[in-house]
Amino acid sequence: MKATEVLADLQRRFPNEPEYLQAVEEVITTIEDEYNKHPEFERYNLIERLCIPDRIFSFRVSWVDDKGKVQNNMGYRIQHNNAIGPYKGGIRFHSSVNQSILKFLAFEQTFKNSLTTLAMGGGKGGSDFSPRGKSDMEVMRFCQAFIAELWRHIGPDTDVPAGDIGVGGREVGYMYGMYKKMAREFTGTFTGKGLEFGGSLIRPEATGYGNVYFLLNMLATRGIDIKDKVVAISGSGNVATYTAKKLLELGAKVITMSDSDGCIYVPEGITKEQLDYIFKLKNEYRGRIREFAEEFGCEYVEGGRPWGYKCDIAMPSATQNELDGDDARTLLANGVIAVSEGANMPSTPDAIKEFLNAKILYAPGKAANAGGVSVSGLEMAQNSQKLSWSSEEVDEKLKGIMKNIHEQCQKYGKEEDGFTNYVKGANVAGFMKVARAMMAQGII
Ligand SMILES: NC(=O)C1=CN([C@@H]2O[C@H](COP(=O)(O)OP(=O)(O)OC[C@H]3O[C@@H](n4cnc5c(N)ncnc54)[C@H](O)[C@@H]3O)[C@@H](O)[C@H]2O)C=CC1
Ligand SMILES: O=C(O)CCC(=O)C(=O)O
Q: Which DSSP category does 284 fall into?
A: T
Verify that 119 and 215 share a domain, yes or no. Answer: no
| Whether residue 211 is found in the same domain as residue 246 | yes
Q: What is the CATH number of the domain that holds 232?
A: 3.40.50.720
Query: What is the edge-to-edge ordering of all strands in the sheet holding 253-258?
Result: 299-302, 262-265, 253-258, 230-233, 313-315, 338-340, 361-363
- Do residues 133 and 256 share a domain? no
Q: Hey, whose CA ends up nearest to atom 33 of ligand 1?
A: 260
Q: In this predicted model, what pLDDT tens digit does every residue of 297-319 receive, in sequence order?
A: 999 999 999 999 999 999 999 99
User: Which residue out of 124, 134, 246, 253 is catalytically annotated?
Assistant: 124
**Pocket-forming residues, ligand 2, beta carbon under 6 Å:** 88-90, 109, 112, 162, 164, 191, 344, 369, 372-373, 376
- 379 domain-assigned: no
- Residues contributing to the annotated binding site for NAD(+): 207, 238
Domain assignment present for residue 444? The answer is no
Q: Which residues contact ligand 1 via a Cβ below 6 A?
A: 163-166, 168, 207, 235-240, 259-260, 317-319, 322, 342-344, 369, 372
Considering the domain architecture, whether residues 30 and 62 belong to the same structural domain is answered as yes
Same-domain status, 246 and 282:
yes
- Confirm whether 395 is domain-assigned: no
What is the ipTM for the molecules in this complex?
A: 0.99
pLDDT in tens, the chain (444 residues): 999 999 999 999 999 999 999 999 999 999 999 999 999 999 999 999 999 999 999 999 999 999 999 999 999 999 999 999 999 999 999 999 999 999 999 999 999 999 999 999 999 999 999 999 999 999 999 999 999 999 999 999 999 999 999 999 999 999 999 999 999 999 999 999 999 999 999 999 999 999 999 999 999 999 999 999 999 999 999 999 999 999 999 999 999 999 999 999 999 999 999 999 999 999 999 999 999 999 999 999 999 999 999 999 999 999 999 999 999 999 999 999 999 999 999 999 999 999 999 999 999 999 999 999 999 999 999 999 999 999 999 999 999 999 999 999 999 999 999 999 999 999 999 999 999 999 999 999
Query: Which atom number of ligand 2 is nearest to the Cα of residue 105?
Result: 10
Residue 194 lies in a domain: no
Cα-to-centroid distance, 235 and ligand 1 (Å): 6
Residues 131 and 225 in one domain: no
Q: Which DSSP category does 195 fall into?
A: G
Tell me if 399 is assigned to some domain: no
Do 321 and 182 have their domain in common? Answer: no
Note whether residue 195 is domain-resident: no
**Strand pairing partners for 256?**
232, 265
Tell me the pLDDT tens digit for each residue of 134-192.
Answer: 999 999 999 999 999 999 999 999 999 999 999 999 999 999 999 999 999 999 999 99
**Residue 184 dihedral angles phi and psi, to the nearest 5°:** 50, 50
Predicted pLDDT at 276: 98
The Cα–Cα gap between 47 and 10 comes to: 11
Last residue of a domain, one of 346, 363, 380: 363
The parent domain of residue 350 ranges over: 204-363
**327 in a domain, yes or no?**
yes
* CA of residue 234 to ligand 1 center, whole Å: 9
Determine whether 124 is an active site residue: yes
Question: What is the number of domains present in the chain?
Answer: 2
Site to substitute for ligand 1 among 164, 212, 317, most atoms within 8 A of C-beta: 164
Q: How far is CA 433 from CA 111, 242, 313, in A?
A: 9, 30, 31
User: Would residue 381 count as lying in a domain?
Assistant: no
What's 106's domain CATH number? 3.40.50.10860
Q: Is 134 strand, coil or helix? A: coil
* Measured CA angle at 201 (ends 198, 204), to 5 deg: 100
